[in-house]
A and B are shown apart, each in its own frame.
Chain A
Amino acid sequence: MDLIQTLLDGLMVGGLYATVAIGITLVFGIMGILNFAHGQMLMLGAYTAFFVVTAGLGFWPALLIAMIAMGALGLLLERIVFRFTLTDHMQGLTASLGLIMVIENLAAAAFTPDHRTFEPPLPGSFQLGPLTLSSQRMLVLALVVVLVVACYLFLQKTRIGKAIRAMGQNRTGAALVGIQTSQVTAVVFVLGSAMAGAAGVLYGSLFAITPYMAAAPLMKGFILTVLGGLGSVPGAVLAGFLLGVAESLGSRYLSASFRDGYGFILMIIALLYFPRGLFGARGKVRV
């Protein structure tokens, strides 16, 4: 029983990580930029939800508003910053570092570092046979799966989705067949940021919201991006669930203090032995 509950927890947490990782891996796959500021969308999404819910509008509108707002913010950042760093990836990375400082500290000044929480739509727990399950956690798990599947379908079935994947494979080639690369990069940012915003709302429904909350999910997002293969969405998702389960089992049965460490160890091992990740979408040149 305990094992099943721990596994479910792991899946839920892993799903949250995966939602964040999708944005990172997409942006990296298309633009080659490792966007460190991605986590800030999660944080801002959580705050958006907090303000919307405490204003009385409810959880579901909050989710929608947060996704839209974060998508817009992602678009804005792409237009004013990342567009100019397409040629130099390290520039993009550095710019994103600067953005972290700006966003995180503005948020800390505006919102104060006090933690916030809001009432989840499904508080308490329910019984499923011999299991006692937390209602909200199960809801989050369900939502995460919905989001990931929706994203996957978007990438597979829609025209823009195919354009994104084409760009991920070969940017010049994609431009040659008439894909508007600047439009696609904008869409990728919007999509990734909206996903991060949604993840933020879900995080906020379970855990505390602070201006510094982005650091941990961001790191996990990077780990997943690497484990799953840079640029591969299914890889990131699978890696996410795996990581979540590993963390959950590790904290439950081994040491709880070292929780974050498991992920890092996994990542380092993966980078050493599976450099192309689980679904390595981009080959790496060995020199």
Chain B
Amino acid sequence: MDFRLYSSGSRNAAIALGGLLLAASCFAQTIKLGMVNSLTGPHSSFDLPASEGVLMAVDEINKRGGVTVKGKKYILGVVSEDAQSKPEFAVSGAQRLLRDDDIKVVFGILTSGPGMAAATALGKAEVLYFGGFTLMDTLLGKPGAELMLRTLNNDATVAKSFIPTSVTELGVKKIGVMLPNEDVSRSIVAIYKPLLEASGVQVTMVEYFQPDTQDFAPVLRKFQNQGLDGMLTGTNDALVEAILRQATELGGLPRKFMYRGGSGAPALKNAKGVDGFTWQILTRDLDNASDAKVKGWIDAYKAFTKKDVSPNTYWALTFYDTVFMMAKAMEEVGSTTDVKAIAAKVKEMKYDGVRTMRFDKDGRAQSDIDIGMLKAGKVSSVRASAM
């Protein structure tokens, strides 16, 4: 059994970084970046790749010579804290980062539980915070949140392209909604239901199940024999995979699914029972990369982390481009510490990296996304614009 320390990739990177720092310390100063992520626990499937993406970007920037601000060379260093998928540790991790006065920029957290807690702590301090969790959206645009940016599109933006495309591709007319009993789900329903109805689809049922359910039979049975031809479900791979699998086992259920979030893995694993499946890839589809930039990035990822691409690897692109944007902003603004100016600069930028990144004035990301599709056994994806 391969005894994998799943942080070994990041550890190697950190060692390499350390070596680089040691060598370069004679010649350049270091800009310290803070990173708080759930490296352990159930949320690590999102956060761990995201952290790898940051480390990758930092490594590339340092290899090409670092950041040059006002003629002085700087290299980037990363201080990483583990949120352990729990709000308390997210806060204490954030606090540990904040004690270091050199850290002015923090990346991290893609899940709302730890995320809201950490954001509350980070919001009280003068640091530039790039986050990814859904409920961050409720914080943006309010006074005091000028230094917060979310690098993933919010539901409202995503749904506008996701729903019409899915409805057309799948050809559904009457669907049911099945989501875990969380705050995020209610906001999903509030956004998606009207859009579905506007696309000519009837939404006859909305059911919430306990978030840590393993046995979906009782809930699925509510959808049986209702004349439904599709379902909207979410919010992470583990859940949807189980739902699909049990749906095919029970029989009498719709065979077309729209998945808010995640990847195509659930459908691929249950291909026999599924007629159509669409999902949202909030960064870039890595499994069907036709784009040269994406392919290049995949190779770089494999070389950097010594790991293969998994269904969750695309989360590594959450912050990857943003690190470059931050570096560029620092160079253009001429400061590594004036976070207000750097934030403002990042919000003005349009960056064509692996993703096309743009932020609005409140710090909400508006990048394009990919919509994955599985139809008649074939996997494909469609790029959708964010506007």
> Which residues in chain A, 71-129, are within 8 Å of chain B measured between CB atoms?
108-110, 112-115, 117, 123-125
Binds A, one of B141-149, B216-224, B326-334, B344-352: B216-224
- Among residues 196 to 216 in chain B, which have CB atoms less than 8 Å away from a CB atom of chain A? 207-210, 212-215
- Most chain A C-beta atoms within 10 Å of own C-beta, residue among B6, B41, B45: B6
A207 closest partner in B (C-beta): B214
One of B56-64, B103-111, B157-165, B240-248 at the interface? B240-248
Q: CB of A149 within 8 A of chain B?
A: no
CA distance A208 to B207 in the complex (A): 21
Asked if A51 is at the interface (CB within 8 A of a chain B CB), the reply is: yes
Q: B315 to chain A: closest CB distance in Å?
A: 12
A144 CA / B271 CA spacing, docked (Å): 29
Q: Is A35 an interface residue (CB 8 A)?
A: no
Complex contact A113–B269 (CB within 8 A): no
* A123→B249 contact, CB < 8 A: yes
Task: Verify B6–A252 contact, CB threshold 8 A.
Answer: no
Q: Mark B1-42, 1 if CB is under 8 A from A, else 0.
A: 101111000000000000000000000000000000000111
**Which of B209, B221, B237, B252 has the most CB atoms of chain A within a 10 A radius of its CB?**
B221
**Shortest distance from the beta carbon of B236 to any chain A beta carbon, whole Å:** 9
Task: Tell me whether A158 is interfacial, beta carbon within 8 Å.
Answer: no
23 residue pairs A–B, Cβ–Cβ below 8 Å = A2-B224, A5-B217, A6-B221, A51-B1, A108-B40, A108-B41, A109-B40, A113-B40, A115-B238, A124-B248, A124-B273, A125-B248, A125-B250, A134-B249, A134-B250, A137-B249, A208-B242, A213-B214, A248-B217, A256-B210, A256-B213, A256-B222, A257-B181
User: B251 interface residue, CB < 8 Å from A?
Assistant: yes
Tell me whether A257 and B218 are in contact (CB under 8 A): no
B208 engages A132 (CB within 8 Å): no
Tell me how far the C-beta of A241 lies from the nearest C-beta in chain B, rounded to whole angstroms. Answer: 15
Question: How many A-B residue pairs lie within 8 Å, measured between CB atoms?
Answer: 105
Nearest-Cβ distance from residue B312 to partner chain A, whole angstroms: 8
The answer to whether A259 has its CB under 8 Å from any CB of chain B is: yes
Decide if B44 is an interface residue (CB 8 Å cutoff): yes
Check A248/B45 contact, CB under 8 A, given A123-B249, A207-B242: no
Candidates B242, B249, B273; contact of A136 at CB < 8 Å: B249
B42 and A210 contacting across the interface, CB-CB below 8 Å: yes
Contact of A9 among B215, B222, B272 (CB under 8 A): B215
Q: For B222, give its contact among A112, A252, A257 (CB under 8 Å).
A: A252
With A6-B221, A260-B210: A114-B249 Cβ-Cβ less than 8 Å: no
B258: min CB distance to chain A, Å: 20
Q: Top 9 closest A-B pairs, CB basis? A: A251-B218, A134-B249, A132-B251, A252-B218, A207-B214, A125-B251, A115-B238, A257-B181, A256-B219
In the complex, chain A residues whose CB is within 8 Å of the CB of B249: 123-125, 134-137
Q: Shortest distance in angstroms between B7's beta carbon and chain A's nearest beta carbon?
A: 9
CA distance A259 to B209 in the complex (A): 9
Minimum C-beta distance from B49 to chain A (A)? 11
Q: Which of A134, A252, A259 contacts B213 (CB 8 A)?
A: A259
A132 in contact with B221 (CB, 8 Å) = no
Complex CA distance for A216 and B210, rounded to whole angstroms: 13
Taking A112-B6, A135-B249 as contacts, is the C-beta distance between A207 and B219 under 8 angstroms?
Answer: no
A258 at the interface (CB under 8 A from B): yes
Contacts of A2 in B (CB 8 A): 221, 224
Cα distance, A225 to B181, chains bound together (Å): 30
Select from chain A the residue with minimum beta-carbon distance to B85: A113
Q: How far is the CB of A10 from chain B (nearest CB, A)?
A: 9
| Complex-state Cα separation, A13 to B310, whole angstroms | 32
Residue of B at shortest CB range from A108? B40
A112 x B215 contact (CB < 8 A)? no
Bound together, the chains give a CA A114 to CA B213 distance in angstroms of 16
Q: For residue B5, which residues in chain A have a CB less than 8 angstroms away from its CB?
A: 109
**Chain B nearest Cβ from A206, distance in angstroms:** 8
Is A212 an interface position by the 8 A CB rule?
Answer: yes
In the complex, the answer to whether B218 meets A248 with C-beta atoms within 8 Å is yes
Partner of B238, one of A109, A110, A132, A208: A208
CB < 8 Å: which of A13, A115, A251 contacts B241?
A115
**Do A256 and B212 have beta carbons less than 8 Å apart?**
no
CB-based contact A216/B207 at 8 Å: no
Q: Is B215 a contact partner of A5 (Cβ separation < 8 A)?
A: no
Residues of A within 8 A of B241 (CB): 115, 117, 208
Q: Distance in Å from the Cβ of A14 to the closest Cβ of chain B?
A: 11
CB-CB contacts of A159-194 with B at 8 A, as 1s and 0s? Answer: 000000000000000000000000000000000000
Of B215, B251, B269, which is in contact with the most chain A CB atoms at under 10 Å from its CB? B215
B355 to chain A, nearest CB (A): 24
Roughly how many angstroms separate A75 CA and B342 CA in the complex, as a whole number? 61
Q: A2-B224, A13-B215, A207-B214 are in contact. Are A256 and B42 (CB under 8 A)?
A: no
Q: Which of B168-216 contact A (CB under 8 A)?
A: 181, 207-210, 212-215
A1-38 residues at the B interface, CB under 8 angstroms: 2, 5-6, 9, 13
Contact between B251 and A208, CB atoms less than 8 A apart: no
Minimal beta-carbon separation of B89 from chain A (angstroms) = 14
Contact across chains for A9 and B248 when beta carbons are under 8 A apart? no
Residues of B within 8 A of A248 (CB): 217-218
Q: How far is the CB of B189 from chain A (nearest CB, A)?
A: 15
CB-defined contacts of B221 to chain A, threshold 8 Å? 2, 5-6, 252
Complexed CA–CA distance, A252 and B216 (Å): 10
Chain A residues positioned under 8 Å from B251 (CB to CB): 125, 132, 134
Residues of A within 8 A of B6 (CB): 109, 112
Whether B210 contacts A258 by the Cβ 8 Å rule is yes
Please give the distance in Å from B208's CB to the nearest CB on chain A: 6
Assess the A117–B245 pair: CB atoms within 8 A: yes
Across the interface, do A112 and B4 meet the contact criterion of CB distance under 8 Å? yes
